[in-house]
Structure 1
């Protein structure tokens, strides 16, 4: 488990698959930076436009929708990915305070009552089978 640090905040723990994606994006950003030349604006973020500026939220949502389509997965709103993460953590029996920290919520009620859904026994069994298959 690696930690990602952002200016002025404590490190967020990340699974290696996420860290790999961020490193890949940083490499792509280096290419964008060299191609943009003097037009590059360094805002300190990794996920930026090709000129280094933060994405406008509507543009980010459009890019996210395009990525979902390209990957052949059902589209969901960007914000719903947080709800999915919370529900998966609950399904994996992660302690609620740990889930709260991962999602960076200040109150456990937000994590448990707003973001997470308790899965059925069938869902739990499916997740256990998925875990076994992913472990190889």
Structure 2
């Protein structure tokens, strides 16, 4: 079972409702599949189109261009910085080995080490009188 943030789960429920309306509007033209994201007639999305739309959104938001797959990297980095266990991040990314996760996202580790040192200091430091 995949754990999702409540806001993402709600967005997917809303998306499913919109997709149901699209399916009704398409009638016999709708292509039945188990895909979550489809065209207006149920076909799978073309990766090139998804990338193009993603780039347009970045441009509209005034953000630098990135690859769509960079979202995965951002997800992992943000989770690690938030203190999520590397093992959990490995599972979220569906990596088969912790080494892949840690080698790929090792640039985040110095921040985590500083945070760990600060937390240890808070645990062992004598209270000021």
TM-score normalised to the size of structure 2?
Answer: 0.75
Greater helix fraction, Structure 1 or Structure 2? 2
Q: Report the Cα distance in structure 2 between the residues aligned to 1:16 and 1:73, rounded to whole angstroms.
A: 28
Deviations 1:82-122 (A, max 9, x none): 1001101110111110111111111112222124631765x
Contiguous gaps of at least 5 residues in structure 1: 1-10, 126-136
CA RMSD of aligned residues (A): 2.2
Deviation at 1:20, TM superposition (A): 1.6
| Higher RCO structure, 1 or 2 (CA under 8 Å, sep 6+) | 1
- Count of paired positions: 112
Higher-Rg structure is 2
User: Which stretch of structure 1 is more off in the superposition, 111-120 or 90-99?
Assistant: 111-120
Report the alpha carbon displacement of residue 39 of structure 1 after superposing the two structures with TM. 0.7
1: CA distance, partners of 2:14 / 2:107: 32
Report what 2:49 is aligned to.
59
Q: Which protein is richer in strand relative to its size?
A: 1
TM-score by length of 1: 0.71
Distance 1:117 1:28, change over 3 A: farther
